[in-house]
Structure 1
Amino acid sequence: MLNENKDAQAKARILIVDDHPIVRQGLAQVINLQADMQLCCEAGNAEEALTAIRSCHHDLAIVDISLQGISGFNLIATLTAHYPQLPILVMSMHEESLYAERSLRLGARGYIMKHQATVNIQLAIRRILDGGIYLSDEMHRLMLDRIHTHAVDPGSTDPVACLTGREFEVLRLIGFGFGTRQIAEKLNRSVKTIEVHRVNIKEKLGLKTGIELIRFAAFWVEAKD
């Protein structure tokens, strides 16, 4: 019994934050089969995640960025500010080229897409716990290309870097052709709130009209895809 307790204590304690129970169950099965890690807590939203973190020690948090209520981006920013020693692995269905770099800037240590998670989640967790960064090989190449471009032309910057996490999500959904009401439903926010986000995005990007915003968003998404 003492040896079993010692082994359990040696395992990395993992928190999963995802609003889909089936996703959490699938990852729990994969994680709990590993000799060096265990699922410690589950959370369906940011509020549940913060409660879990206050009541339990975790070695790593896996966070989906598409959460109801407080977004995954805002949760990452909060965790980084209040729990800087907690490594964060972002897991998302969204294209890595759109979200990985922003996630790392907010403080995450890695990004994995959901369709790759059941195969590579163990590798991602171990790499981050060892002090590394986890990204796909393709994303590594893309970021190296961006670093090279910036070195050649230091004035070249991502025009959307000034946006908040929620504004970033709104811009992306606009780029995919969703209207204000549809975006409000997807992000569980009021239409008025989304309209305010649209105004702020236009101001930050120097756009004058809604048509310019739609055009910019569409070209930006296409360029990132």
Structure 2
Amino acid sequence: MTVRVLLVDDQPLVRAALQMVITDAPDLDVAGEAGNGAEAVRLVRELAPDVVVMDIRMPGMDGIEATRLITAGAGPARVVVLTTFDDDDYVYAALRAGASGFLVKDMALDDILAAVRVVAAGDALIAPSVTRRLIAEFAGRPAPAPPPRTAEGITGREREVLTLVGGGRSNAEIAADLVISVATVKTYVTRLLAKLDARDRVQLVIIAYEMGLVAASR
């Protein structure tokens, strides 16, 4: 099945580079392009893409508000934020808005394609080499107060798994740490998603920080 991708960035050169490599991939297709958030929201409704690669800083409606509107809709589109780690203070807010992960603009293009495939498959982009640093950095920053998160309703083992997910650990790493099978870890993650009403693994990471299970590193 071909994954249909909407590219959203106010820089035409960025969109052109992504379009070129996506067009060359047999399992990916560019559904459309947008230069700002408002246009992205409109095109998602019209084109129903599978994945939206979303810049944050754009004129008019930014990527955070666009992500919030897209993920609140009834369509299947999942959002991957495209950002710059060194100067972008809005990644955590974008994850709160419902993004399924994020990419850094200086990543290799092949890695970006791999990330799009991961998100299209229903997972979230939690790459320890990048995500651990970003979420740890932005989780400790002030943000509009969300409803308080508690650990009520989850078991002790589920709490352990959630803590490790919050630390950016993969399923295989969690299995090794807890001396259980990868299949069992997947079962715990699925239960956590349901019990905590989380969209995907990225939101589990955010919830782990909100519960105080993982401390933001400095």
User: Is the TM value for this pair above 0.5?
Assistant: yes
Match of 2:143 in 1: 161
Structure 1 residues 117 and 100: CA distance shift in structure 2, 3 A: farther
* 1:50 lines up with 2:52 in the alignment: no
Structure 1 residues 103 and 55: CA distance shift in structure 2, 3 A: same
Instruction: Provide the secondary structure at the position in 1 that maps to 2:132.
Output: helix
TM-superposed CA distance for 1:158, in Å, is 3.3
Q: Between Structure 1 and Structure 2, which shows a larger proportion of helix residues?
A: 1
Structure 1 residues 81 and 145: CA distance shift in structure 2, 3 A: closer
Identity of aligned residues (%): 28
Structure 1 residues 101 and 35: CA distance shift in structure 2, 3 A: same
Does the 8 Å CA contact 2:10/2:36 hold for their aligned counterparts?
A: yes
Instruction: Provide the secondary structure at the position in 2 that maps to 1:91.
Output: strand
- Provide the C-alpha distance between the structure 1 equivalents of 2:145 and 2:13, rounded to a whole number of angstroms: 32
Does the 8 Å CA contact 1:91/1:117 hold for their aligned counterparts?
A: no
* 1:68 lines up with 2:37 in the alignment: no
Q: CA RMSD in A?
A: 3.0
- Provide the C-alpha distance between the structure 2 equivalents of 1:22 and 1:224, rounded to a whole number of angstroms: 35
Instruction: Provide the secondary structure at the position in 1 that maps to 2:119.
Output: helix
Structure 1 residues 112 and 145: CA distance shift in structure 2, 3 A: closer
Mapping of 1:20-99 within 5 angstroms? 20-83=11-74, 85-95=76-86, 98-99=89-90
- Provide the C-alpha distance between the structure 2 equivalents of 1:57 and 1:135, rounded to a whole number of angstroms: 25
1:45 is matched by which residue type in structure 2?
N
TM-score normalised according to structure 2 size:
0.59
TM-superposed CA distance for 1:131, in Å, is 1.6
Mapping of 1:45-194 within 5 angstroms? 45-83=36-74, 85-95=76-86, 98-142=89-133, 158-162=140-144
Task: Report which of the two structures shows the higher radius of gyration computed on alpha carbons.
Answer: 1
2:29 is matched by which residue type in structure 1?
Q
- Provide the C-alpha distance between the structure 2 equivalents of 1:55 and 1:89, rounded to a whole number of angstroms: 19
TM-superposed CA distance for 1:159, in Å, is 4.9
The C-alpha deviation readout for 1:3-29, integer Å capped at 9, x for no partner, is xxxxxxx31111011001111000000
TM-superposed CA distance for 1:88, in Å, is 0.5
TM-superposed CA distance for 1:143, in Å, is 7.3
**Runs of 5+ consecutive residues of structure 1 not aligned to the other structure:** 1-9, 147-156, 165-222
Does the 8 Å CA contact 1:96/1:139 hold for their aligned counterparts?
A: no
Does the 8 Å CA contact 1:60/1:86 hold for their aligned counterparts?
A: yes
Does the 8 Å CA contact 1:112/1:136 hold for their aligned counterparts?
A: no
Instruction: Provide the secondary structure at the position in 1 that maps to 2:67.
Output: helix
Q: Which segment drifts farther, 137-146 or 127-136?
A: 137-146
TM-superposed CA distance for 1:130, in Å, is 1.5
- Provide the C-alpha distance between the structure 2 equivalents of 1:61 and 1:90, rounded to a whole number of angstroms: 8
**Runs of 5+ consecutive residues of structure 2 not aligned to the other structure:** 147-215
TM-superposed CA distance for 1:224, in Å, is 8.4
Does the 8 Å CA contact 2:63/2:94 hold for their aligned counterparts?
A: no
Does the 8 Å CA contact 1:60/1:87 hold for their aligned counterparts?
A: yes
Match of 1:198 in 2: none
